[in-house]
Amino acid sequence: MLVERFYPDEYLDSTYSIDFDELAAEGYKGVLFDIDNTLVPHGAPADDRAKRLFAHLGEIGMDYCVISNNQLPRVKPFADAVQAKYIEDAHKPSTRNYKKAMQMMGCDEKNSLFVGDQLFTDVWGAKRAGMRTILVKPIHPKEEIQIVLKRYLEKNRSSLLSESQGEIMIKKILQLMDQEQVEALLVSDGYNMRYLSGFCGAAGYLYISAKQQVLMTDSRYTTQAEKEAPQFQVVEVGGSQGYPQWIASCIQKDGIKTIGFEDQQMICAEFKKISSQASGDVQWKELGEKGQPDATASKAEQRRIERSPQGQGKKIRDGSGIFE
């Protein structure tokens, strides 16, 4: 069928939910990325999450290139920030620059894949170049702050005038946690950390429960954290006690069974490291932005989809039924 040339090999919620460790184990050596609405909202600079993702790709031996139809002033600063190869004004879906990007990485269509948010440019061009393709849902500008806490607290912003901001923030967070039926909350997004604690450092996590409120960061920021977030216990990570170990320690100390986390702000590799340190009895509840229910295949179903360019006849479903 003519339409099958537009089928991606996978359709996922987010670039940051892709298990790149698994892809590396399968033999993939290079990743091509679109930028706008794939890695960041349209026009946004590279954020901490994107930088962590590209750093992790380097750690597992994968090369990467950003390929965009935008011009140099947009593409080069982003690529420089994540230390990526880049091609601007790529004229997608023309295959020419997909092939050029693979050559720049020393890869070919058999060990490269493409990640993008558009069917008729990103996916079509990559499919025509013979590459494996992963289509992701576009990042909407309003979804930069994924955690529902932010919106809840902003609706109650006027109440901050009568009490200490730190105290009222914790109070509101605990109320929301009750509504979400979680006993603890793990915050990883830098914006949300600043909003909820006042801490402006570039690295760290917040762990919040009724029993304790902990800010974890490295030695560069501990003094700053103590000044900016006095309502939090500040702990310094390092050596054998990294973030996963400290988070697991907090969970164990509280004896909790359910913890909420920012699923759309934490890259897959980080979540695997953190959750593997916690007890197997702990349930991790996604607290990303809640959208409308759709007919999208479950993640388990998506991972079972055949990864060959032809898909061996299997079709991927999205909310519109376009692939059925």
d(CA 262, CA 233): 21
Q: Which has more confidence, 178 or 294?
A: 178
pLDDT at site 241: 85
With a cut of 80, say whether residue 209 has pLDDT above it.
yes
pLDDT tens digit sequence for 60-95: 999 999 999 999 999 999 999 999 999 999 999 999
d(CA 151, CA 145): 9
With a cut of 50, say whether residue 41 has pLDDT above it.
yes
With a cut of 90, say whether residue 239 has pLDDT above it.
no
pLDDT at site 3: 45
- Mean local confidence (pLDDT), 274-295: 66
Domains of the chain, earliest start first: 2-141+292-313 (3.40.50.1000), 147-286 (3.40.350.10)
Percent of the chain topping pLDDT 70: 77
| pTM for the model | 0.55
Confidence bin at 13 (pLDDT 50/70/90): confident
Q: Which has more confidence, 136 or 2?
A: 136
pLDDT at site 143: 44
The token duo for 65 is 């290139």
- Amino acid letter, residue 226: E
Instruction: Give me the phi and psi of 5, to 5 degrees please.
Output: -65, -15
7: which residues sit within 8 A by CB, 6+ positions away? 123, 127, 311, 315, 316, 323
Please choose, from the candidates 128, 134, 141, the residue with its C-alpha nearest in 3D space to the C-alpha of residue 115: 134
123: which residues sit within 8 A by CB, 6+ positions away? 6, 7, 8, 114, 116, 133, 135
With a cut of 60, say whether residue 105 has pLDDT above it.
yes
Mean pLDDT for the chain? 79
Residue 78 near residue 35, CB atoms below 8 Å: yes
Residue 130 near residue 32, CB atoms below 8 Å: no
pLDDT at site 308: 34
Q: Which has more confidence, 314 or 36?
A: 36
Contacts of 4-8 spanning 24+ positions with Cβ under 8 A: 4/310, 4/311, 5/124, 5/127, 5/128, 6/119, 6/120, 6/123, 6/124, 6/127, 7/123, 7/127, 7/311, 7/315, 7/316, 7/323, 8/119, 8/123, 8/127, 8/133, 8/134, 8/135, 8/316
- Mean local confidence (pLDDT), 255-278: 81
With a cut of 70, say whether residue 310 has pLDDT above it.
no
- Mean local confidence (pLDDT), 312-319: 36
Q: Which has more confidence, 118 or 296?
A: 118
pLDDT tens digit sequence for 86-95: 999 999 999 9
